[in-house]
Structure formats: structure tokens, C-alpha cells
Structure 1
Amino acid sequence: MSRPVRLRLIGLMACAAALSACSGEQEELQAWMEQQKREVKPNVQPLSPPKKFDPQPYLSATGVEPFSTQKLTVAIKQEARQPSSLLAAEVNRRREPLEAYPLDSMSMVGSVVKQGRQYALLRVDNLLYQVKVGDYLGQNYGKITKITETDVSLREIVQDAAGEWIERSGALQLQEKAR
């Protein structure tokens, strides 16, 4: 037999001897595991059964939605019937086209003077509108009070935290296009 073959044979015999030595430990380990399984009793408390679900019908579906336009319209008309209300004159007048748009969707792009009267040029939805003092715009009953070359001043009627209608001033300023 040649030397490399002999070395291989010796290596195989050493591996076989090592594996046979481990098999005894394996049996010993297996016996210990079985003994532990028999001795140890688990202490797990059973889960409580789930609570019974009792469905309830939704009763508010027939009521008026709190944020409906119908409810708001009724409240505004009720408020307008009171003689001291700021809304009395506003609710009964004809609405102007620019009152359909919120102020933040409008931008002032210029101003002109025609026949001694100051007009502002407002861009809304890529359309150009010409407005003067006394015209209405915005969704909060905004009325234009003053027009200069650089801004449009207006007063709006809004509800405060207590639900009272109050006047608030606002403005649209000239938007210069960056070049």
C-alpha cells in the first residue's frame, strides 16, 4: 500500500472512532431529555373566552349630518332674520361670480385706472377678472373696500369661535412674476 492511501485509511478510521464515541453521548443526551419531559409539568393558565360581540344599530343615520350644507344654509338664514346680524344684507343679495372661489385661489396681477376709477385685475382659474371697490369676492362675503396699485383690501364676514358673525379685514397683494 502506498503512503497516501495509508494516510487516508488512518484518517477514515480516526473519524469512525470519533463518531462512535459521540454516539454514546447522543444516547445519554436523549435519555436526559426524555427524563426532563416527564418531570417538568407546564403551568400555563388557559385563555379566557372572548367577550360576546353584541352589534348595535347606528341610530344617527337618520339625523342631520353635522357638516352638511343644508344645516349651514338653515343656520345662515336663521341668523340673517335677526335685524342686528351682519349677514342680513349679505344673504338677500344676488351672489357675484367671484364669490364661488376661495381667496387663496385668486391672485392680483395688476391694476388699471379707467375714467378716473381704480380697477384691479385678478386671475382666477387662468381667467382674468376686472374688479372695483364695492364688488364681492371670496367665499366669506368679502367686499372690496380699497384698491391700490399693489393690493386689494376687503372685509369679510366670518364666524368666530363662539359662533358670532364678525367682520375681518383681508387683502390680496400684487403677485409679480419672477423672470
Structure 2
Amino acid sequence: MKQSKTAPFRLLVLTVVSLLITACVASGNHADLQQFMEQARTQPQGEIEPLPTFRMYESYKYSVVAQRSPFEKPLTVTADDGQGKVAVKPDESREKEYLEGFNYAALTMVGTLEKDGVLWSLIDDGQGSVHRVTVGNYLGKNHGKIVLVSPSQLNVVEIVPDGKEGWVERPRALALKEND
């Protein structure tokens, strides 16, 4: 059996510690310690100064959350004269689809399906029926054409009046409704 090089050192340390402990316990003469403790008990106790008083912290409530962040540049809006752009207008000759009879706000995306490599979105019309739509279908009263179907949302481009007897495209998204 091989002995460790530190074994003699460990034995020496153990012996010294044992002797010191035995010497302290065996002497029994603690008169000087007892005298010091009695003297310390008779002296007046020190006083601890009281904690400083703190002012109550008043939290700041940011009341303009819905407005533009102060760290973003202001959005500059310029008047559109409509010149130089292709005129956008809805196709009135196209046959209306069933979901075009509903307001966009009443429609809810409740899921997706994939069939033959095509992703379909499931739309609840708010009247108890669920409809299957994909890219190219229309929904909402503002000629909303579906341009993208993803597992989490449906992207639509609506054609709405611009207030100047013209039409503009407005992108919208219908996010997947999470179960509450």
C-alpha cells in the first residue's frame, strides 16, 4: 500500500491541535476572563444613534404612453397630390365573397391549416361560423385582399376612400386570437 506524502504532516497537525484543546480545557483557570466579563457588565452601555428619516419616494407616472416616444423622430406627413402614382381603385366587377359582408373588426383569426402545401387561415365571423381563407381571398367591407397567411397572423391590403374622390391602399393585419 502506498502512503501519501502528506500523511505525516496531517498526523503532526492533528496532534498539535489536540494538545492545544486539551491544554485550554484542563487548566480551568479562567479567573481573569471572569473578571473582565464582570467589569464589562458594570460599565454603561453605548447608545446606538437612531436611523435617519427618509422622505417617501414618489414614483413618476408616464401619462403619455399612447403618444410618440420622445426618443423617436417626429413623423413628417406631407400632402399627397396623387400625381405620378398609379390610380388604385376597387374592382367593382368582381363577385363579392361571403366574408366581405362583415366589418373587419368583427372577424377573428382562430387558427391555420395546411393542405397540399397551401396555408389556410380559419376566420370566425362572429356569428358562430368558421371560414377557411388563403392568399387572394377577400374579407371585410373595404375590399380587403389577403396578401399573406402565416401561422400567427393574416395580412390584408384594403382599398379605402382617401377623402378626395380617390382610393388608397391600407395594410392591416389580423392576429391569431389566443385562448383566454
TM-score by length of 1: 0.50
1:119 aligned residue: 120
- Alpha-carbon contact 2:89-2:166 (below 8 Å) kept: no
1:163 aligned residue: 165
Query: 2 CA distance for matches of 1:137 and 1:104?
Result: 11
2:179 aligned residue: 177
Q: Give the deviation of 1:126 after TM superposition.
A: 1.3
Q: How does 1:22-41 map to 2 (within 5 A)?
A: none
Give the residue type in structure 1 aligned to 2:143.
Y
Secondary structure of the structure 2 residue equivalent to 1:95: coil
User: After the TM superposition, which segments of 4 or more aligned residues of structure 1 sit over 4 Å from their partners?
Assistant: none
RMSD of Structure 2 on Structure 1 (CA): 1.3
Query: 1 CA distance for matches of 2:160 and 2:119?
Result: 27
Q: Give the deviation of 1:85 after TM superposition.
A: 4.3
Q: Does 1:140 align with 2:167?
A: no
Q: Give the deviation of 1:163 after TM superposition.
A: 3.1
Q: How does 1:14-93 map to 2 (within 5 A)?
A: 85-87=87-89, 90-93=91-94
1:108 aligned residue: 109
Provide, for residues 140-168 of structure 1, a one-character-per-residue CA deviation record: whole Å limited to 9, x for no partner.
Answer: 00000000001000100001233320111
2:100 aligned residue: 99
Query: 2 CA distance for matches of 1:157 and 1:170?
Result: 11
Query: 2 CA distance for matches of 1:91 and 1:164?
Result: 14
Give the residue type in structure 2 aligned to 1:126.
G
TM-score by length of 2: 0.50
Query: 1 CA distance for matches of 2:137 and 2:112?
Result: 15
Provide, for residues 91-137 of structure 1, a one-character-per-residue CA deviation record: whole Å limited to 9, x for no partner.
Answer: 01100000000110000000011010000000011100000100000
Provide, for residues 13-61 of structure 1, a one-character-per-residue CA deviation record: whole Å limited to 9, x for no partner.
Answer: xxxxxxxxxxxxxxxxxxxxxxxxxxxxxxxxxxxxxxxxxxxxxxxxx
Query: 2 CA distance for matches of 1:92 and 1:99?
Result: 14
Identity %: 33
Gaps in structure 1 of 5+ consecutive residues: 1-83
Query: 2 CA distance for matches of 1:94 and 1:130?
Result: 18
Gaps in structure 2 of 5+ consecutive residues: 1-85
* Bigger share in helix: 1
Secondary structure of the structure 2 residue equivalent to 1:87: coil
Q: Does 1:129 align with 2:131?
A: yes
Give the residue type in structure 1 aligned to 2:171.
S
Query: 1 CA distance for matches of 2:120 and 2:170?
Result: 22
Give the residue type in structure 2 aligned to 1:94.
E
Query: 2 CA distance for matches of 1:168 and 1:135?
Result: 16
